[in-house]
Chain A
Amino acid sequence: AQKVTQAQTEISVVEKEDVTLDCVYETRDTTYYLFWYKQPPSGELVFLIRRNSFDEQNEISGRYSWNFQKSTSSFNFTITASQVVDSAVYFCALSVNSGNTPLVFGKGTRLSVIA
């Protein structure tokens, strides 16, 4: 069975600080996909990134970056120079056999960025 752990329930930072959201996953499958989603107060889920298990290259998209380390089964998400608009709940999720199986979500991390 798959499992995703987001140990940080809530994080509060001051605007312009950097913040890292942790994600640890468990799966016995060798092929799997990792995701991050943002859920702002309005409730919709916004897709941020997908990585497959064969691609450990870190990725940067603007102020967002992701660090995938198979050795520690982690897929951490860093926001640089945080902004108030980054305040949301962030979910890490995992799927195997992408497309035919549902996502397994972590419990989410609520990020509050204070002006």
Chain B
Amino acid sequence: SAVISQKPSRDICQRGTSLTIQCQVDSQVTMMFWYRQQPGQSLTLIATANQGSEATYESGFVIDKFPISRPNLTFSTLTVSNMSPEDSSIYLCSASFDRGYTFGSGTRLTVV
């Protein structure tokens, strides 16, 4: 099955700063998905990233806060901008393959 390398695995950031999370897939995929998992909660979809077009954001998430890039079929980034403690979560990227959906190992973000 395909593998997604996600980094950083964790970070502690100061409020007001930005963090960019990267996901590299070992094969080409059309769609990638970004999720947020707040402490003790389920996964919430942030946006869908299709190569060659702007990402589609879910209600409650905006591009200014969570800009996404998708420069090619194997790579995507999510930036968490102007961070506040409420952004402390695990962020995961995902892509779909024949047998299902593969996930990156997650980025555990703590904002202080």
Contact = CB atoms under 8 A, between A and B. Distances in A.
A58 B41 CA distance: 29
A80 to B, nearest CB: 23
Interface in A70-115: 91, 95, 98-100, 102-108
A43 interface: yes
A63 interface: no
A50 B45 contact: no
A33 B99 CA distance: 10
A91 B90 contact: no
A33 B94 CA distance: 16
Main DSSP-derived SS at the B contact region: strand
A35 B100 contact: yes
Shortest beta-carbon contacts, A-B, top 5: A99-B96, A45-B103, A50-B100, A102-B33, A107-B42
Contacts of A104: 45
A44 B103 contact: yes
Contact of B106 (A43, A103, A105, A107): A43
